[in-house]
Copies of this chain bind each other. A is one copy, B any other.
Amino acid sequence: MWPGGRGAVTAPVPLAGHPPLQEDRTEMAVTLADVAARAGVSSATVSRVLNGNYPVAGGTRERVRRAVAELDYVVNGQARALAAATSDLVGVLVNDVADPFFGLIASAVQAEISAGAEPGGGKLAVVCNTGGSPEAELTYLTLLERQRAAGVVLTGSAVESAEHTAAVTARLTRLAASGTRIVLCGRPPLTLPDGGIAPATVAFDNRGGARRLTEHLLSLGHRRIGYVSGPVERSTTRHRLEGHRAALAVSDRPLGPDAEAYAERLTVHGTYDRASGYDAALELLRREPELTAIVAANDTVALGVCAALRDRGLSIPGDVSVAGFDDLPFSADVSPALTTVRIPLQEAGARAGKLVMGRLAPPPGGVATVGTELMVRGSTAPPAVRTA
């Protein structure tokens, strides 16, 4: 078949696998066999006691337990995983761990998956920071496949490019086929090709929340509303913007047929961070000095907007009302407290965690949407009566 292959091992020289690496400075770890020897049983029995899935006589069990304790034995997860074809790892992909939005979700997911049964304290969450980069997302998916992760939770907005969607779908299909449970949290449902079951999804009602938020501003009397959007090509960005526009569309804004163009003009795209909000606010003010309200894509951006307005000498909400999205913990504490849309991130994360652990049946249709709630606080008020 292949060249160079001889074979013919003539002399009975015993081959040796890994013998030379014994005398490391690192004393050899205790293995199942050591425990077995100490307890005077076979390693199979020790394994059985440890996993508790096979009847072992009380006395024997006790002896094994003692040996385990005396030797401070800790099972080798990788060997176990290999032999049993299981894994203790669950991947959690987030755009940015340092962002409380993801932190809250990750924290809830993690609490859920490590709250496992006794055997050893559940699974371990591998939090992967994609930084919003599609490539990183794919890389991590591969890394998780390599680890044969028990499950994967994808959180946050999806990049809406056909190419990337296809790539992610392919990875997820493979993962699902090999038994990894997939859950999407805060990103739109996905359809897997060739009969694959679509992953369970915990979706956020971004569109509805955004609509209600803008309706709130409209009802206060605002008509010149700026919108600081997130990065284009991301599902969350699109949904929130759509909700905003939907509210505007049914309003009685005096602009009639030009309404859409006007809304377009008062929309600035940026990233989901503070600096982006700051810059965008200035830009909006330039485009429409008569602005009476600004809606931001999220709370962090809203903070940047507030900073810019303040630097411009405008008061909130006296001169301009500001609203955010997400209701992160700090939003209630800033001054003025931010009007925003609350997403039950904790609850969503917990739900995702239960789903990925198989502790919760997937919702009918595969998609569960968590509602959003408008939180009206001090940063929004009726527009001042200007000299217009």
A319: interface (CB < 8 Å): no
Rounded to whole Å, the gap between the CB of A193 and the closest CB of chain B is: 15
Please, which residues of chain B bring their CB within 8 A of the CB of A77?
A: 146-148
Of the candidate stretches A95-103, A153-161, A366-374, the one touching chain B is A95-103
A1: interface (CB < 8 Å): yes
A343: interface (CB < 8 Å): no
Please, which residues of chain B bring their CB within 8 A of the CB of A307?
A: 332-333
A47: interface (CB < 8 Å): no
- State the oligomeric state as a number of copies: 2
In whole angstroms, how far apart are the Cα atoms of A87 and B88 in the complex?
Answer: 14
A271: interface (CB < 8 Å): no
**A305 nearest CB neighbor, chain B only:** B333
Interface residues of A in 217-257 (CB under 8 A from B): none
In whole angstroms, how far apart are the Cα atoms of A106 and B126 in the complex?
Answer: 12
Given A303-B333, A307-B333, A98-B107 contact (CB < 8 Å): yes
Please, which residues of chain B bring their CB within 8 A of the CB of A339?
A: none
Please, which residues of chain B bring their CB within 8 A of the CB of A76?
A: 82, 146, 148
Check A1–B329 contact: CB distance below 8 A. Answer: no
Count residues of chain A with CB under 8 A from any CB of chain B: 73
In whole angstroms, how far apart are the Cα atoms of A113 and B306 in the complex?
Answer: 36
Taking A1-B53, A76-B148, A124-B128 as given, write out 12 further A-B residue pairs in contact, using a Cβ cutoff of 8 Å, ordered by the A residue number: A2-B54, A74-B146, A76-B82, A78-B81, A89-B126, A96-B103, A98-B100, A98-B107, A106-B129, A110-B128, A125-B129, A303-B333
Which positions in A face B, CB cutoff 8 Å? Answer: 1-2, 5, 21, 26-27, 29, 40-42, 53-55, 72, 74-79, 81-82, 85, 87-89, 96-100, 103-104, 106-107, 110-111, 114, 120-121, 124-129, 131, 139, 142-148, 174, 177-179, 274, 300, 303-304, 306-307, 310, 329-330, 332-336
